[in-house]
Amino acid sequence: DTAVSQTPKYLVTQMGNDKSIKCEQNLGHDTMYWYKQDSKKFLKIMFSYNNKELIINETVPNRFSPKSPDKAHLNLHINSLELGDSAVYFCASSRQGAENTIYFGEGSWLTVV
Amino acid sequence: AQSVTQLDSQVPVFEEAPVELRCNYSSSVSVYLFWYVQYPNQGLQLLLKYLSGSTLVKGINGFEAEFNKSQTSFHLRKPSVHISDTAEYFCAVTNPHSGAGSYQLTFGKGTKLSVIP
């Protein structure tokens, strides 16, 4: 039973399109995240949601918008895709508290052509 | 703000040899430290974490790490590696005193461990 699942796993799309990546966790966690991993494997947090409220919003373009319909879901919507958006996007979740382990999904490979 | 430096981008090592992956952090406050592993085409999985107490932390798959406050290091070690340990390893830090719900992991750039048969 997958703890953090995200779909699609692979996505190839053209510049200018709008796309969404869905994420669900069945761990009962109250905090969810989106991380971006670039081609050099560097990981950086994009968003954090705690109890459906945006807590962290790193300096990402406003073309990226997280949407959380409930505590178990945090979707990522991207408008007007650009070549530089090509990356692996990881959804993750944890219990509230810095000491708690963050559980990651398997990633969504986005390629913009 | 905190930062993490992983000194080696790639570490090749022969099977059954010991390995040490180095991690140094920078922070003006106390921190929590983590090591995550990423196998090819997969997400990240926690290996171990240091919160407080004993500076030697044992994790899964035979890995351990030692927290050294004076040297601001948290190096990861394994006495004998296997082919299956080939993966990318990430050191990460977080500030436990951030506001509620705003904890975020700051990752190093990763070390690719390649185990040679």
Rounded to a whole number of angstroms, the distance from the CA of B45 to the nearest CA of chain A is 7
Q: Does B101 touch chain A (CB under 8 A)?
A: yes
Tens digits of residue pLDDT in A70-90: 889 999 999 999 999 999 999
Q: Does B27 touch chain A (CB under 8 A)?
A: no
Tell me what pLDDT residue B1 has.
76
Rounded to a whole number of angstroms, the distance from the CA of B76 to the nearest CA of chain A is 18
Tell me what pLDDT residue B95 has.
83
Q: Does B107 touch chain A (CB under 8 A)?
A: yes
- Record: contact A31-B101, CB cut-off 8 A: yes
What residues of B are in contact with residue A7 (Cβ under 8 Å)? none
Q: Does A45 touch chain B (CB under 8 A)?
A: yes
Tell me what pLDDT residue A58 has.
73
- Identify the residue whose tokens are 């050099």: A40
Q: What are phi and psi of A55, to 5 degrees?
A: -100, -45
- Asked if pLDDT for residue B101 goes beyond 70, the answer is no
Tell me what pLDDT residue B58 has.
96
Burial A67-103 (b: 16+ CB within 10 A, else e): ebeebbbbbbebeebeeebbbbbbbbbbeeebebebb
Tens digits of residue pLDDT in B4-29: 999 999 999 999 999 999 999 998 78
Residue ranges of chain A with pLDDT lower than 70?
Answer: 1
Continuous segment of H or E residues that includes residue A39: none
Q: Does B63 touch chain A (CB under 8 A)?
A: no
Q: Which residue of B has its CA nearest to A93?
A: B104
Cα-trace Rg, chain B:
14
State the Cα–Cα distance between residues B105 and A80, nearest whole angstrom: 28
- Identify the residue whose tokens are 């966690």: A29
